[in-house]
Amino acid sequence: MARIELESDEATNPQVRDVFDEIIERVGRVPAAYRAFARHPHILQANWNRTKNILGQGNLPIVVKEAIATRVSKVNGCHFCLLIHRSNLEKLEIPVSQINEIEAGTTQDTRLNFVLEFVSLATQHPEKITDDHFQRLKELDYSEEDILEILTVMEMYTGYNKIIVALGLRPDD
């Protein structure tokens, strides 16, 4: 159960309603985290803008971004987040066996596997990232812009994981 009261799906505050309507149009529902963010409409707007910009733009395919979100959620112990991102990968028609590998950080795809290792390390011990990690990503044909995008997706979901765990949000909230 959430540790704070979440905004209702039927919010009447115009600022909240506008964002909720956009989220419903894109996602089909308003996830619990956004109902929590709605306690402060400017926080809701900022987080929604960030999410749609990071996920909707850039070079990385959405499958890679969802794989990063899945692995980071596992590393951060956000079981609720893990369920969401596993489901998102299933909607992208990724087989469950491959989703299990992504969650564990051990895929058969060399490029993706290194990205998952990289974000796992960056999530837990960013001070241990070395020039060799960047060089390896470049050898795997990731540009510097791609690397920045990988880190940005990792950072966004690490932040969401921490907020969701701290608030005690659950799938039924």
pLDDT, one tens digit per residue, over 158-168 is 999 999 999 99
**Does 129 lie in the same domain as 49?**
no
Q: Tell whether the model's pLDDT for residue 1 goes beyond 90.
A: no
Number of domains in the chain: 2
What does the pLDDT look like over 58-117, one tens digit per residue?
999 999 999 999 999 999 999 999 999 999 999 999 999 999 999 999 999 999 999 999
Domain range spanning residue 122? 62-167
Residue 122's pLDDT band (cuts 50, 70, 90): very high
Give the mean pLDDT of 34-43.
97
For the packed helices 14-27 and 41-56, what is the interaxial angle rounded to 10 degrees? 30
Same domain assignment for residues 94 and 151: yes
The answer to whether position 99 is within a domain reads yes
Please check whether residue 172 lies inside any domain of the structure: no
What's the confidence (pLDDT) of residue 48? 98
Q: Which pLDDT does position 173 carry in this prediction?
A: 84
Closest residue by Cα to residue 64 from 150, 151, 156: 150
Is residue 148 one of the residues assigned to a domain?
yes
Cβ atoms of residues 7 and 38 within 8 Å:
yes
Pair 112, 45 in one domain: no
Is the pLDDT at 9 greater than 90? The verdict is no
Q: Are 34 and 19 in contact (CB under 8 A)?
A: yes
The rounded distance, in Å, linking the Cα atoms of 91 and 100 is 15
Q: What pLDDT score does 19 carry?
A: 97
Contact (Cβ atoms closer than 8 angstroms) between residue 169 and residue 33 = yes
Q: CA-to-CA distance for 5 and 18, rounded, in angstroms?
A: 20
pLDDT score at 60: 98
pLDDT of the residue at 124: 97
Question: For the segment 129-144, what is each residue's pLDDT rounded down to a tens digit?
Answer: 999 999 999 999 999 9
Residues 49 and 104 occupy one common structural domain: no
Asked whether residue 1 is assigned to any structural domain, the reply reads no
